[in-house]
Amino acid sequence: MNMSVSNMLAYAEEVRKDDQRLPLVCFKTPSGPEVVLGELYLRILKLASLEQAVVVYIDDIPMEILHLIILGYLEGGFMSLAEQVMLLHYLSKAKKISHAQLALRFKLSRTVVTNRIRLFVLPYEVMSGLVNNEVSEGHVRALLSLKRDDLIVNAFEIIKRDSLSVREAEELVRRLLGRGKRFKQSATKLTVEYDLIAKQVGDMLGTKAYIQPLLRGGRLILSFKSKEDLKEILEKIRIVF
């Protein structure tokens, strides 16, 4: 969800007065806690000058407790769609909870649960656009049929640029799928050619290079580890071109 600054300030004041805080639900990673649920709530705590948050790890807490935490986030309106997608996918795949049970716990229909779990595989750019209301859930569901990340991202950019409706997005996807079938063989040949070109560019500039084909042209991606590396690459580009 997107919450206005005024609403966030109002919630922050309530939290400061009551001093009742929801815990942040996290994954354990080698680099520290990775927030699964609570990004928005953490921003509210900071506005309330209460930056110390209780952290619970999703693999360590009983399901009954996690259910209560989820209810707290749902009732407060603190759960983003991206967090919901991640939680639904995790609980379905890792904890083997049925879609019917998830529908009850998240107060959703079973169909919505199934569709949102499917959204987990979307590229970051598309999920970010969904969270920021650049496209709707109907738009991104249509994109899932494209399978390939480069096609999904490219179609997503077209939808944004041309302000396509959901039906127009579905038609765009149908056209792209038809084109993909007709040109699958030539696309495979192009991929091999692009890999060779990327290797030549990388060898010339002393770095790794990648080419991401799009419907029109593509992207040349150069890898660098530091500002100094980037400066050296840019200097070599100036010399060559």
Q: How far apart, in whole angstroms, are the C-alpha atoms of residue 140 and residue 137?
A: 5
**Could you tell me if 202 and 217 lie in one domain?**
yes
Residue range 76-99: mean pLDDT, rounded? 91
Q: Which of these, 205, 206, 148, 207, lies nearest to 179 by C-alpha position? A: 148
pLDDT at 181 over 80: no
Tokens for 63? 């399901």
**Could you tell me if 131 and 153 lie in one domain?**
yes
Q: Where is pLDDT greater, at 117 or 16?
A: 117
- Structural domain contains residue 202: yes
Residue range 180-186: mean pLDDT, rounded? 50
- Structural domain contains residue 221: yes
- Domain range for 170 is 123-182
pLDDT at 110 over 90: yes
- Structural domain contains residue 30: no
Give the contacts of 207 (CB within 8 A, at least 6 positions apart): 222, 223, 224, 229, 233
HEC readout, the chain? CCCCHHHHHHHHHHHHHHCCCCCEEEEEECCEEEEEECHHHHHHHHHCCCCCCCEEECCCCCHHHHHHHHHHHHHHCCCCHHHHHHHHHHHHHCCCCCHHHHHHHHCCCHHHHHHHHHHHHCCHHHHHHHHCCCCCHHHHHHHHHHCCHHHHHHHHHHHHHHCCCHHHHHHHHHHHHHHHHHCHHHHHHHHHHHHHHHHHHHHHHCCCEEEEECCCCEEEEECCCCHHHHHHHHHHHHHHC
pLDDT at 52 over 80: no
Q: Which amino acid is at 191?
A: T
pLDDT at 149 over 80: yes
Strand order in the sheet with 32-37: 32-37, 24-29, 55-57
Tokens for 193? 């050619």
**Could you tell me if 209 and 170 lie in one domain?**
no
- Structural domain contains residue 219: yes
Choosing from 166, 182, 198, the residue where a domain stops is: 182
Choosing from 134, 153, 182, the residue where a domain stops is: 182
Q: Where is pLDDT greater, at 219 or 163?
A: 163
**Could you tell me if 175 and 216 lie in one domain?**
no
- Structural domain contains residue 204: yes
pLDDT at 171 over 50: yes
**Could you tell me if 128 and 178 lie in one domain?**
yes
Choosing from 182, 197, 224, the residue where a domain stops is: 182
For residue 188, name the pLDDT band (cuts at 50, 70, 90): low
Pick the range with the lowest mean pLDDT from 128-132, 173-177, 181-185.
181-185
Residue recorded with tokens 């970051």: 124
- Structural domain contains residue 225: yes
Total structural domains in the chain?
2
